[in-house]
Structure 1
Amino acid sequence: MPRAAVLGSPIAHSLSPVLHNAGYAALGLDDWSYECFETTAEELPERVGESESDFRGFSVTMPGKFAALNFATEVTDRARLMGSANTLVRLEGGGWRADNTDTEGIAGALAELMGATPGTGRRALVIGAGGTARPALWGLAQRGYRDIDVLNRRDRTAEFAKLADALELNLTPVSYADNLRARVKQADVIVSTVPSAALTDHLEALSHAPVLDVIYDTLPTPLMAYTAADGYPTVGGHIMLAHQSFSQFEQFTGLSAPRAAMVDALLEALKKRD
Protein backbone atom coordinates (compact mmCIF):
# COMPACT_ATOMS: atom_id res chain seq x y z
CA MET A 1 0.00 0.00 0.00
CA PRO A 2 1.86 3.13 -1.18
CA ARG A 3 1.97 5.92 1.36
CA ALA A 4 3.17 9.48 1.80
CA ALA A 5 3.00 11.88 4.73
CA VAL A 6 3.71 15.39 5.92
CA LEU A 7 6.22 15.96 8.72
CA GLY A 8 6.39 18.99 10.99
CA SER A 9 5.71 20.38 14.44
CA PRO A 10 3.00 21.39 15.10
CA ILE A 11 1.32 19.43 12.33
CA ALA A 12 -2.31 18.78 13.33
CA HIS A 13 -3.48 21.88 11.45
CA SER A 14 -1.90 20.80 8.15
CA LEU A 15 -4.13 20.78 5.07
CA SER A 16 -1.66 18.73 3.01
CA PRO A 17 -3.58 15.49 3.70
CA VAL A 18 -6.70 17.13 2.26
CA LEU A 19 -4.89 18.01 -0.97
CA HIS A 20 -3.06 14.73 -1.51
CA ASN A 21 -5.89 12.40 -0.49
CA ALA A 22 -8.25 14.32 -2.77
CA GLY A 23 -5.78 13.76 -5.59
CA TYR A 24 -5.64 10.02 -4.88
CA ALA A 25 -9.44 9.82 -4.86
CA ALA A 26 -9.76 11.75 -8.12
CA LEU A 27 -7.37 9.36 -9.90
CA GLY A 28 -8.82 6.22 -8.35
CA LEU A 29 -5.64 5.48 -6.38
CA ASP A 30 -7.59 3.62 -3.71
CA ASP A 31 -4.50 1.91 -2.33
CA TRP A 32 -2.68 5.20 -1.67
CA SER A 33 -2.86 7.10 1.62
CA TYR A 34 -1.37 10.30 2.99
CA GLU A 35 -0.83 10.88 6.71
CA CYS A 36 0.70 13.47 9.02
CA PHE A 37 3.32 12.86 11.70
CA GLU A 38 4.38 15.21 14.46
CA THR A 39 8.12 15.44 13.81
CA THR A 40 10.76 17.88 15.02
CA ALA A 41 13.88 18.73 13.06
CA GLU A 42 15.90 16.49 15.36
CA GLU A 43 13.51 13.59 14.85
CA LEU A 44 13.30 13.86 11.05
CA PRO A 45 16.38 11.75 10.10
CA GLU A 46 15.17 8.80 12.16
CA ARG A 47 11.54 9.19 11.05
CA VAL A 48 12.47 9.18 7.36
CA GLY A 49 15.46 6.87 7.53
CA GLU A 50 13.56 4.14 9.37
CA SER A 51 10.27 4.55 7.49
CA GLU A 52 8.64 1.49 5.97
CA SER A 53 9.48 0.76 2.34
CA ASP A 54 5.95 1.63 1.17
CA PHE A 55 6.51 5.30 1.98
CA ARG A 56 7.20 6.92 -1.39
CA GLY A 57 7.79 10.42 -0.10
CA PHE A 58 7.38 13.03 2.59
CA SER A 59 6.23 16.62 2.55
CA VAL A 60 8.19 18.64 5.10
CA THR A 61 7.07 21.79 6.86
CA MET A 62 8.72 23.77 9.64
CA PRO A 63 10.83 23.17 11.57
CA GLY A 64 12.24 20.35 9.45
CA LYS A 65 13.07 21.98 6.12
CA PHE A 66 16.76 22.48 6.86
CA ALA A 67 17.07 19.00 8.37
CA ALA A 68 15.44 17.53 5.25
CA LEU A 69 18.03 19.16 3.01
CA ASN A 70 20.92 17.92 5.16
CA PHE A 71 19.48 14.39 5.41
CA ALA A 72 19.04 13.83 1.67
CA THR A 73 21.50 11.83 -0.43
CA GLU A 74 20.53 13.81 -3.55
CA VAL A 75 19.51 17.48 -3.76
CA THR A 76 17.85 19.35 -6.63
CA ASP A 77 19.41 22.59 -7.81
CA ARG A 78 16.52 24.70 -6.59
CA ALA A 79 16.54 23.10 -3.13
CA ARG A 80 20.25 23.79 -2.85
CA LEU A 81 19.68 27.38 -3.97
CA MET A 82 16.87 27.86 -1.44
CA GLY A 83 18.97 26.30 1.32
CA SER A 84 16.05 24.14 2.48
CA ALA A 85 13.74 21.36 1.30
CA ASN A 86 10.02 20.76 1.70
CA THR A 87 9.98 17.48 -0.24
CA LEU A 88 11.75 14.14 0.21
CA VAL A 89 11.31 11.43 -2.44
CA ARG A 90 12.53 7.85 -1.99
CA LEU A 91 15.01 6.87 -4.71
CA GLU A 92 14.78 3.48 -6.37
CA GLY A 93 18.41 2.65 -5.67
CA GLY A 94 18.18 3.74 -2.05
CA GLY A 95 18.44 7.11 -0.40
CA TRP A 96 16.29 10.22 -0.66
CA ARG A 97 16.08 13.18 -3.04
CA ALA A 98 15.39 16.62 -1.55
CA ASP A 99 13.45 19.23 -3.51
CA ASN A 100 11.85 22.59 -2.76
CA THR A 101 8.42 22.97 -4.36
CA ASP A 102 7.69 26.15 -2.38
CA THR A 103 9.24 27.79 -5.45
CA GLU A 104 6.40 26.44 -7.57
CA GLY A 105 3.94 27.45 -4.89
CA ILE A 106 5.00 31.09 -5.14
CA ALA A 107 5.20 30.97 -8.93
CA GLY A 108 1.71 29.48 -9.22
CA ALA A 109 0.20 31.98 -6.79
CA LEU A 110 1.82 34.88 -8.63
CA ALA A 111 0.43 33.56 -11.91
CA GLU A 112 -3.07 33.57 -10.44
CA LEU A 113 -2.53 37.07 -9.08
CA MET A 114 -0.94 38.65 -12.14
CA GLY A 115 -1.60 36.35 -15.09
CA ALA A 116 0.13 33.26 -16.39
CA THR A 117 2.55 35.05 -18.72
CA PRO A 118 5.59 36.55 -16.96
CA GLY A 119 5.76 40.29 -17.52
CA THR A 120 8.43 42.90 -17.32
CA GLY A 121 7.85 43.95 -13.74
CA ARG A 122 9.51 47.11 -12.60
CA ARG A 123 9.85 46.60 -8.87
CA ALA A 124 8.54 44.25 -6.19
CA LEU A 125 8.36 44.32 -2.40
CA VAL A 126 8.93 41.23 -0.26
CA ILE A 127 7.87 41.49 3.37
CA GLY A 128 9.96 39.37 5.71
CA ALA A 129 13.36 37.70 5.51
CA GLY A 130 12.64 34.21 6.80
CA GLY A 131 12.54 30.87 5.02
CA THR A 132 9.63 31.70 2.70
CA ALA A 133 11.32 34.88 1.49
CA ARG A 134 13.75 32.79 -0.58
CA PRO A 135 11.07 31.09 -2.70
CA ALA A 136 9.38 34.49 -2.98
CA LEU A 137 12.53 35.96 -4.49
CA TRP A 138 12.84 32.96 -6.82
CA GLY A 139 9.24 33.27 -7.99
CA LEU A 140 9.57 37.00 -8.63
CA ALA A 141 12.80 36.45 -10.56
CA GLN A 142 11.01 33.95 -12.83
CA ARG A 143 8.53 36.70 -13.69
CA GLY A 144 11.29 39.09 -14.70
CA TYR A 145 11.64 41.17 -11.56
CA ARG A 146 15.19 42.29 -10.87
CA ASP A 147 14.74 45.18 -8.39
CA ILE A 148 13.23 43.98 -5.13
CA ASP A 149 12.79 45.80 -1.82
CA VAL A 150 12.99 43.57 1.26
CA LEU A 151 10.99 44.94 4.20
CA ASN A 152 12.10 43.59 7.56
CA ARG A 153 12.67 44.82 11.09
CA ARG A 154 16.40 44.54 10.53
CA ASP A 155 18.47 44.37 7.39
CA ARG A 156 19.09 40.71 6.50
CA THR A 157 19.70 41.13 2.78
CA ALA A 158 23.31 40.01 3.22
CA GLU A 159 21.94 36.52 3.95
CA PHE A 160 20.47 36.46 0.44
CA ALA A 161 23.65 37.54 -1.34
CA LYS A 162 24.36 34.16 -2.96
CA LEU A 163 20.74 33.73 -4.00
CA ALA A 164 20.55 37.29 -5.33
CA ASP A 165 23.68 36.75 -7.41
CA ALA A 166 22.35 33.51 -8.86
CA LEU A 167 19.02 35.11 -9.75
CA GLU A 168 20.57 38.41 -10.84
CA LEU A 169 18.53 40.40 -8.32
CA ASN A 170 19.15 43.85 -6.89
CA LEU A 171 17.93 43.79 -3.29
CA THR A 172 17.28 46.95 -1.28
CA PRO A 173 16.65 46.75 2.47
CA VAL A 174 13.61 48.63 3.77
CA SER A 175 12.60 49.18 7.40
CA TYR A 176 9.24 49.94 8.96
CA ALA A 177 10.57 53.38 9.83
CA ASP A 178 10.85 54.26 6.13
CA ASN A 179 8.10 55.90 4.11
CA LEU A 180 6.29 52.65 3.36
CA ARG A 181 3.51 54.24 1.35
CA ALA A 182 6.04 55.73 -1.06
CA ARG A 183 7.85 52.39 -1.36
CA VAL A 184 4.62 50.54 -2.04
CA LYS A 185 3.59 53.06 -4.68
CA GLN A 186 6.75 52.10 -6.60
CA ALA A 187 5.97 48.36 -6.44
CA ASP A 188 4.10 46.32 -9.04
CA VAL A 189 3.45 43.54 -6.53
CA ILE A 190 3.91 42.70 -2.84
CA VAL A 191 4.65 39.26 -1.43
CA SER A 192 4.15 39.08 2.33
CA THR A 193 5.78 36.16 4.16
CA VAL A 194 5.17 37.25 7.76
CA PRO A 195 2.37 36.57 10.27
CA SER A 196 -0.54 38.98 10.04
CA ALA A 197 0.10 40.36 13.53
CA ALA A 198 3.44 41.76 12.38
CA LEU A 199 1.70 44.14 9.98
CA THR A 200 -1.11 45.44 12.20
CA ASP A 201 0.29 48.96 12.46
CA HIS A 202 1.19 49.24 8.77
CA LEU A 203 -1.83 47.99 6.84
CA GLU A 204 -2.90 51.34 5.42
CA ALA A 205 0.59 52.05 4.06
CA LEU A 206 0.99 48.59 2.53
CA SER A 207 -2.37 48.29 0.77
CA HIS A 208 -1.56 50.06 -2.51
CA ALA A 209 -0.34 47.25 -4.80
CA PRO A 210 -1.42 43.70 -5.73
CA VAL A 211 -0.68 41.34 -2.83
CA LEU A 212 0.24 37.70 -2.39
CA ASP A 213 -0.03 36.91 1.32
CA VAL A 214 1.36 33.45 2.09
CA ILE A 215 -0.73 33.21 5.28
CA TYR A 216 -3.93 31.16 5.05
CA ASP A 217 -4.94 30.51 8.67
CA THR A 218 -7.69 33.12 8.34
CA LEU A 219 -8.86 34.35 4.93
CA PRO A 220 -8.87 37.04 3.87
CA THR A 221 -5.91 38.18 5.95
CA PRO A 222 -6.01 41.79 7.23
CA LEU A 223 -3.50 42.80 4.54
CA MET A 224 -5.63 41.19 1.84
CA ALA A 225 -8.76 42.92 3.17
CA TYR A 226 -7.16 46.36 3.24
CA THR A 227 -5.64 45.84 -0.20
CA ALA A 228 -8.90 44.64 -1.76
CA ALA A 229 -10.73 47.62 -0.24
CA ASP A 230 -8.28 49.88 -2.07
CA GLY A 231 -9.11 48.16 -5.35
CA TYR A 232 -6.10 45.89 -5.83
CA PRO A 233 -6.18 42.12 -6.50
CA THR A 234 -5.08 39.69 -3.78
CA VAL A 235 -4.20 36.01 -3.47
CA GLY A 236 -3.93 34.06 -0.23
CA GLY A 237 -1.47 31.46 0.95
CA HIS A 238 -3.89 28.62 0.27
CA ILE A 239 -3.16 29.08 -3.43
CA MET A 240 0.58 28.80 -2.76
CA LEU A 241 -0.11 25.68 -0.65
CA ALA A 242 -2.01 24.08 -3.51
CA HIS A 243 0.59 24.83 -6.16
CA GLN A 244 3.48 23.52 -4.06
CA SER A 245 1.54 20.29 -3.49
CA PHE A 246 1.01 19.54 -7.20
CA SER A 247 4.68 18.82 -7.87
CA GLN A 248 4.97 16.81 -4.66
CA PHE A 249 2.01 14.67 -5.71
CA GLU A 250 3.59 14.05 -9.11
CA GLN A 251 7.00 13.20 -7.65
CA PHE A 252 5.44 10.76 -5.17
CA THR A 253 3.04 9.01 -7.57
CA GLY A 254 4.58 9.55 -11.02
CA LEU A 255 1.17 10.77 -12.24
CA SER A 256 -0.12 14.21 -13.22
CA ALA A 257 -1.84 15.94 -10.32
CA PRO A 258 -5.62 16.40 -10.71
CA ARG A 259 -5.32 20.07 -9.81
CA ALA A 260 -8.97 21.08 -9.96
CA ALA A 261 -10.06 18.26 -7.64
CA MET A 262 -7.28 19.04 -5.18
CA VAL A 263 -8.10 22.75 -5.08
CA ASP A 264 -11.83 22.07 -4.69
CA ALA A 265 -11.12 19.85 -1.69
CA LEU A 266 -8.85 22.49 -0.16
CA LEU A 267 -11.45 25.25 -0.57
CA GLU A 268 -14.11 23.05 0.99
CA ALA A 269 -11.85 22.26 3.95
CA LEU A 270 -11.10 25.95 4.47
CA LYS A 271 -14.79 26.79 4.29
CA LYS A 272 -15.61 24.20 6.96
CA ARG A 273 -12.76 25.37 9.17
CA ASP A 274 -13.75 29.03 8.95
Structure 2
Amino acid sequence: MLNEGRDVARHCAVWGSPIGHSLSPVLHRAAYAALGLHDWSYDRREVDEAGFAAALAGLDATWVGLSLTMPLKEVAFRSATTVTTLAAVTGAANTLVRDPDGSQGWTAHNTDVHGITMALRVAGCTDPSSVLVVGSGATARAAIAAVSAPRGRVVFMVRDRVRPETLAQARQAGLAVEVVHLGEWATAADVDAVVSTVPPASVPGLGSFPEASEGSRRPVVLDVVYGSGETALQRAARDRGWAVAAGTDMLLHQATEQVRLMTGRPAPLAEMSHALRLALRDRREDP
Protein backbone atom coordinates (compact mmCIF):
# COMPACT_ATOMS: atom_id res chain seq x y z
CA MET A 1 0.00 0.00 0.00
CA LEU A 2 1.19 3.57 0.67
CA ASN A 3 4.72 3.13 1.93
CA GLU A 4 6.23 5.91 -0.12
CA GLY A 5 6.37 9.59 0.79
CA ARG A 6 7.22 8.90 4.41
CA ASP A 7 7.52 12.60 5.20
CA VAL A 8 3.74 12.78 4.83
CA ALA A 9 1.70 11.60 7.82
CA ARG A 10 -0.35 8.46 7.28
CA HIS A 11 -3.37 7.68 9.43
CA CYS A 12 -5.12 4.43 10.25
CA ALA A 13 -7.61 3.47 12.96
CA VAL A 14 -10.01 0.89 14.29
CA TRP A 15 -13.71 1.76 14.23
CA GLY A 16 -16.62 0.09 15.96
CA SER A 17 -19.14 0.38 18.75
CA PRO A 18 -18.20 -0.25 21.49
CA ILE A 19 -14.52 0.28 20.77
CA GLY A 20 -12.84 1.19 24.07
CA HIS A 21 -11.72 -2.40 24.72
CA SER A 22 -9.91 -2.81 21.39
CA LEU A 23 -6.24 -3.82 21.49
CA SER A 24 -5.75 -3.14 17.79
CA PRO A 25 -3.91 0.15 18.51
CA VAL A 26 -1.37 -1.78 20.59
CA LEU A 27 -0.66 -4.14 17.71
CA HIS A 28 -0.52 -1.62 14.88
CA ARG A 29 1.55 0.92 16.81
CA ALA A 30 4.05 -1.80 17.71
CA ALA A 31 4.28 -2.70 14.02
CA TYR A 32 4.87 0.90 12.96
CA ALA A 33 7.63 1.28 15.57
CA ALA A 34 9.34 -1.92 14.44
CA LEU A 35 9.06 -0.93 10.77
CA GLY A 36 10.39 2.58 11.38
CA LEU A 37 7.14 4.18 10.20
CA HIS A 38 7.34 7.02 12.68
CA ASP A 39 5.02 9.28 10.69
CA TRP A 40 2.18 6.73 10.81
CA SER A 41 -0.54 6.87 13.46
CA TYR A 42 -3.22 4.41 14.55
CA ASP A 43 -6.15 5.33 16.79
CA ARG A 44 -9.59 4.09 17.78
CA ARG A 45 -12.91 5.78 17.14
CA GLU A 46 -16.45 5.06 18.28
CA VAL A 47 -18.52 4.71 15.08
CA ASP A 48 -21.87 2.97 14.69
CA GLU A 49 -23.69 1.89 11.54
CA ALA A 50 -25.71 5.08 11.29
CA GLY A 51 -22.61 7.25 11.42
CA PHE A 52 -20.31 5.15 9.27
CA ALA A 53 -20.93 6.72 5.85
CA ALA A 54 -20.37 10.27 7.10
CA ALA A 55 -17.28 9.25 9.05
CA LEU A 56 -15.76 7.55 6.02
CA ALA A 57 -16.56 10.49 3.74
CA GLY A 58 -14.82 12.81 6.19
CA LEU A 59 -11.41 11.15 5.84
CA ASP A 60 -8.83 12.98 3.77
CA ALA A 61 -6.17 11.39 1.56
CA THR A 62 -3.73 10.89 4.45
CA TRP A 63 -5.99 8.12 5.71
CA VAL A 64 -4.87 4.80 4.26
CA GLY A 65 -6.47 2.04 6.33
CA LEU A 66 -9.31 1.15 8.68
CA SER A 67 -9.87 -1.88 10.88
CA LEU A 68 -13.58 -2.59 11.41
CA THR A 69 -15.18 -4.43 14.28
CA MET A 70 -18.80 -4.89 15.33
CA PRO A 71 -21.19 -3.69 14.03
CA LEU A 72 -19.43 -2.31 10.94
CA LYS A 73 -18.19 -5.30 8.94
CA GLU A 74 -21.15 -5.44 6.58
CA VAL A 75 -21.69 -1.71 6.10
CA ALA A 76 -17.96 -1.37 5.40
CA PHE A 77 -18.21 -4.10 2.77
CA ARG A 78 -21.06 -2.27 1.06
CA SER A 79 -19.10 1.01 1.09
CA ALA A 80 -16.05 -0.36 -0.75
CA THR A 81 -15.32 0.39 -4.39
CA THR A 82 -13.24 -2.79 -4.77
CA VAL A 83 -13.82 -6.12 -3.05
CA THR A 84 -11.35 -8.98 -2.62
CA THR A 85 -12.39 -12.60 -3.10
CA LEU A 86 -12.56 -13.43 0.62
CA ALA A 87 -14.54 -10.30 1.37
CA ALA A 88 -16.95 -11.16 -1.45
CA VAL A 89 -17.36 -14.74 -0.25
CA THR A 90 -18.13 -13.66 3.30
CA GLY A 91 -20.03 -10.48 2.46
CA ALA A 92 -18.09 -8.71 5.19
CA ALA A 93 -14.99 -6.56 5.57
CA ASN A 94 -12.96 -6.13 8.73
CA THR A 95 -10.42 -4.06 6.78
CA LEU A 96 -10.64 -1.15 4.35
CA VAL A 97 -7.50 -0.03 2.51
CA ARG A 98 -7.32 3.10 0.38
CA ASP A 99 -7.20 2.22 -3.31
CA PRO A 100 -3.63 2.59 -4.60
CA ASP A 101 -4.58 4.73 -7.60
CA GLY A 102 -4.85 7.84 -5.44
CA SER A 103 -8.63 7.95 -5.69
CA GLN A 104 -10.99 8.28 -2.77
CA GLY A 105 -12.04 4.64 -3.11
CA TRP A 106 -11.48 1.81 -0.67
CA THR A 107 -10.77 -1.91 -1.09
CA ALA A 108 -12.57 -4.32 1.23
CA HIS A 109 -10.59 -7.20 2.76
CA ASN A 110 -11.50 -9.89 5.27
CA THR A 111 -8.44 -10.76 7.36
CA ASP A 112 -10.62 -12.48 9.99
CA VAL A 113 -10.33 -15.63 7.87
CA HIS A 114 -6.55 -15.60 8.22
CA GLY A 115 -6.87 -14.82 11.93
CA ILE A 116 -9.19 -17.77 12.57
CA THR A 117 -7.10 -20.12 10.44
CA MET A 118 -3.90 -19.22 12.27
CA ALA A 119 -5.46 -19.31 15.75
CA LEU A 120 -6.73 -22.84 15.10
CA ARG A 121 -3.36 -23.84 13.64
CA VAL A 122 -1.46 -22.55 16.67
CA ALA A 123 -3.73 -24.71 18.85
CA GLY A 124 -3.02 -27.79 16.72
CA CYS A 125 -5.95 -27.78 14.28
CA THR A 126 -4.58 -27.59 10.75
CA ASP A 127 -6.89 -27.77 7.73
CA PRO A 128 -10.18 -28.36 9.60
CA SER A 129 -12.79 -30.25 7.61
CA SER A 130 -15.63 -29.98 10.14
CA VAL A 131 -16.51 -27.03 12.34
CA LEU A 132 -19.31 -26.16 14.74
CA VAL A 133 -19.93 -22.42 14.59
CA VAL A 134 -21.87 -20.68 17.34
CA GLY A 135 -23.69 -17.79 15.68
CA SER A 136 -24.25 -16.92 12.03
CA GLY A 137 -23.12 -13.33 11.55
CA ALA A 138 -20.14 -11.80 9.77
CA THR A 139 -17.49 -13.48 11.95
CA ALA A 140 -19.27 -16.81 11.56
CA ARG A 141 -18.89 -16.46 7.80
CA ALA A 142 -15.15 -15.95 8.25
CA ALA A 143 -15.08 -19.20 10.25
CA ILE A 144 -16.85 -21.01 7.42
CA ALA A 145 -14.27 -19.72 4.96
CA ALA A 146 -11.55 -21.25 7.16
CA VAL A 147 -12.93 -24.76 6.55
CA SER A 148 -10.45 -26.17 4.09
CA ALA A 149 -11.98 -29.38 2.78
CA PRO A 150 -14.12 -28.97 -0.36
CA ARG A 151 -16.56 -31.57 1.00
CA GLY A 152 -16.37 -30.44 4.58
CA ARG A 153 -19.11 -29.98 7.16
CA VAL A 154 -20.37 -27.07 9.20
CA VAL A 155 -22.77 -27.22 12.12
CA PHE A 156 -24.49 -23.95 13.00
CA MET A 157 -25.54 -23.46 16.60
CA VAL A 158 -28.09 -20.64 16.70
CA ARG A 159 -30.92 -19.38 18.88
CA ASP A 160 -33.47 -19.14 16.08
CA ARG A 161 -32.36 -19.60 12.46
CA VAL A 162 -29.20 -19.23 10.42
CA ARG A 163 -28.92 -15.95 8.55
CA PRO A 164 -29.77 -16.63 4.87
CA GLU A 165 -26.52 -15.15 3.52
CA THR A 166 -24.48 -17.30 5.91
CA LEU A 167 -26.35 -20.44 4.96
CA ALA A 168 -25.91 -19.59 1.28
CA GLN A 169 -22.15 -19.17 1.70
CA ALA A 170 -21.81 -22.60 3.32
CA ARG A 171 -23.84 -24.31 0.62
CA GLN A 172 -22.05 -22.52 -2.22
CA ALA A 173 -18.77 -23.78 -0.73
CA GLY A 174 -20.08 -27.35 -1.02
CA LEU A 175 -20.21 -27.90 2.73
CA ALA A 176 -22.65 -30.27 4.37
CA VAL A 177 -24.81 -28.15 6.68
CA GLU A 178 -26.48 -29.01 9.98
CA VAL A 179 -28.33 -26.67 12.32
CA VAL A 180 -28.79 -27.14 16.07
CA HIS A 181 -30.22 -24.93 18.79
CA LEU A 182 -28.07 -23.09 21.30
CA GLY A 183 -26.84 -25.47 23.99
CA GLU A 184 -27.29 -28.68 21.97
CA TRP A 185 -23.70 -29.88 22.10
CA ALA A 186 -24.04 -33.51 20.99
CA THR A 187 -22.84 -32.75 17.44
CA ALA A 188 -19.65 -31.16 18.81
CA ALA A 189 -18.38 -34.64 19.66
CA ASP A 190 -17.15 -35.34 16.12
CA VAL A 191 -15.97 -31.97 14.76
CA ASP A 192 -12.41 -30.73 14.39
CA ALA A 193 -13.17 -27.36 15.96
CA VAL A 194 -15.79 -25.26 17.69
CA VAL A 195 -15.70 -21.54 16.90
CA SER A 196 -17.89 -19.26 19.01
CA THR A 197 -18.64 -15.85 17.53
CA VAL A 198 -21.23 -14.67 20.08
CA PRO A 199 -20.93 -12.97 23.49
CA PRO A 200 -19.71 -15.54 26.06
CA ALA A 201 -22.70 -15.02 28.36
CA SER A 202 -25.09 -16.16 25.62
CA VAL A 203 -23.55 -19.64 25.25
CA PRO A 204 -25.73 -22.07 27.31
CA GLY A 205 -25.74 -25.76 28.14
CA LEU A 206 -22.02 -26.12 28.83
CA GLY A 207 -22.68 -28.85 31.37
CA SER A 208 -23.29 -31.15 28.40
CA PHE A 209 -20.20 -30.11 26.45
CA PRO A 210 -18.68 -33.39 25.17
CA GLU A 211 -15.40 -35.01 26.07
CA ALA A 212 -12.68 -34.68 23.43
CA SER A 213 -12.90 -37.45 20.88
CA GLU A 214 -10.19 -40.08 20.71
CA GLY A 215 -7.87 -39.62 17.77
CA SER A 216 -4.53 -38.45 16.48
CA ARG A 217 -5.26 -34.82 17.29
CA ARG A 218 -7.33 -33.04 19.89
CA PRO A 219 -10.32 -30.99 18.78
CA VAL A 220 -10.04 -27.25 19.37
CA VAL A 221 -12.32 -24.56 20.79
CA LEU A 222 -11.84 -20.96 19.65
CA ASP A 223 -13.83 -18.24 21.39
CA VAL A 224 -13.20 -15.12 19.32
CA VAL A 225 -14.00 -12.83 22.25
CA TYR A 226 -10.99 -11.63 24.21
CA GLY A 227 -10.12 -9.28 27.03
CA SER A 228 -12.16 -10.65 29.95
CA GLY A 229 -10.10 -13.69 30.86
CA GLU A 230 -11.04 -17.30 30.19
CA THR A 231 -14.64 -17.75 29.10
CA ALA A 232 -17.05 -20.40 30.39
CA LEU A 233 -16.86 -22.17 27.01
CA GLN A 234 -13.07 -22.27 27.17
CA ARG A 235 -13.13 -23.67 30.73
CA ALA A 236 -15.65 -26.36 29.80
CA ALA A 237 -13.60 -27.37 26.77
CA ARG A 238 -10.33 -27.50 28.69
CA ASP A 239 -11.91 -29.58 31.47
CA ARG A 240 -13.04 -32.12 28.88
CA GLY A 241 -9.70 -32.51 27.14
CA TRP A 242 -10.08 -30.09 24.24
CA ALA A 243 -7.31 -27.79 23.08
CA VAL A 244 -8.16 -24.11 23.49
CA ALA A 245 -7.27 -21.43 20.94
CA ALA A 246 -7.06 -17.90 22.31
CA GLY A 247 -9.17 -15.14 20.84
CA THR A 248 -6.08 -12.97 21.12
CA ASP A 249 -4.32 -15.27 18.64
CA MET A 250 -7.06 -14.53 16.12
CA LEU A 251 -6.67 -10.82 16.89
CA LEU A 252 -2.90 -10.96 16.43
CA HIS A 253 -2.90 -12.80 13.12
CA GLN A 254 -5.73 -10.85 11.51
CA ALA A 255 -3.80 -7.70 12.50
CA THR A 256 -0.58 -8.91 10.86
CA GLU A 257 -2.48 -9.17 7.58
CA GLN A 258 -3.92 -5.70 8.08
CA VAL A 259 -0.46 -4.25 8.65
CA ARG A 260 0.81 -5.90 5.47
CA LEU A 261 -2.12 -4.60 3.44
CA MET A 262 -1.99 -1.07 4.81
CA THR A 263 1.77 -0.49 4.80
CA GLY A 264 2.97 -2.75 1.99
CA ARG A 265 5.52 -4.28 4.39
CA PRO A 266 5.69 -7.76 5.98
CA ALA A 267 4.27 -7.47 9.48
CA PRO A 268 6.75 -7.81 12.40
CA LEU A 269 4.98 -10.72 14.12
CA ALA A 270 7.41 -11.06 17.04
CA GLU A 271 7.20 -7.40 18.02
CA MET A 272 3.42 -7.33 17.68
CA SER A 273 3.06 -10.50 19.76
CA HIS A 274 5.32 -9.07 22.49
CA ALA A 275 3.32 -5.84 22.65
CA LEU A 276 0.08 -7.82 22.90
CA ARG A 277 1.41 -9.94 25.78
CA LEU A 278 2.42 -6.81 27.69
CA ALA A 279 -0.96 -5.18 27.11
CA LEU A 280 -2.81 -8.27 28.29
CA ARG A 281 -0.62 -8.48 31.39
CA ASP A 282 -1.27 -4.83 32.19
CA ARG A 283 -5.00 -5.33 31.68
CA ARG A 284 -5.03 -8.27 34.10
CA GLU A 285 -3.09 -6.30 36.70
CA ASP A 286 -5.22 -3.18 36.40
CA PRO A 287 -7.41 -3.08 39.53
- State TM-score, norm by structure 2: 0.87
- C-alpha offsets along residues 171-211 of structure 1, whole Å, 9 cap, x if unaligned? 10012474x2x322222221111211112432442564421
In structure 1, how many angstroms separate the alpha carbons of the residues matched to 2:60 and 2:40? Answer: 14
Distance in 2, Cα, partners of 1:86 & 1:194: 16
Paired residue for 1:199, among 192, 203, 207? 203
Whole-angstrom distance in 2 between the partners of 1:200 and 1:257 = 38
The aligned residue for residue 138 of structure 2 is 131
Equivalent in 248, 268, 276 of residue 258 of structure 1: 268
Contact 1:7–1:58 (CA under 8 A) maintained in structure 2: yes
Give the C-alpha shift of residue 149 in structure 1: 1.2
Q: CA deviation at 1:46?
A: 2.0
Shift in Å, 1:134: 0.4
Distance across 2 between alignment mates of 1:257 and 1:227: 32
Change (3 A) 1:207 1:20: farther
Aligned length: 268
Q: Which residue of 2 aligns with 1:173?
A: 179
Structure 1 segment 238-253 matched on structure 2, within 5 A: 238-253=248-263
Distance in 1 (CA, whole Å) between partners of 2:143 and 2:256 is 18
Assess if the C-alpha contact under 8 Å between 1:212 and 1:236 holds in 2.
Answer: yes
In structure 2, the residue matched to 1:92 is: 100
> Residue 28 of structure 2: which of 12, 20, 40 is its match?
20
Q: Deviations over 1:39-75 (max 9, x none)?
A: 1122222222221221111111112212211111111
Q: Which has the higher helix share?
A: 1
Which stretches of structure 1, 4 residues or longer, exceed 4 Å deviation after superposition? none
AA in 1 matched with 2:142:
P
Which structure 2 residue ranges, 5 or more long, are not aligned?
A: 1-8, 213-218
Q: Secondary structure at the match of 2:138?
A: coil
- Residue of structure 2 in register with 1:236 after alignment: 246
Could you say what secondary structure the match of 1:234 adopts? strand
CA distance in 1, matches of 2:139, 2:28: 22
How far apart in 2 are the matches of 1:104 and 1:91? 21
Letter aligned with residue 135 of structure 1: A
Q: Does 1:111 align with 2:118?
A: no
| Aligned match of 2:14 | 6
Partner of 1:53: 61
Of 230, 244, 250 in structure 2, the residue corresponding to residue 220 of structure 1 is 230
TM-score, normalised on structure 1?
0.91
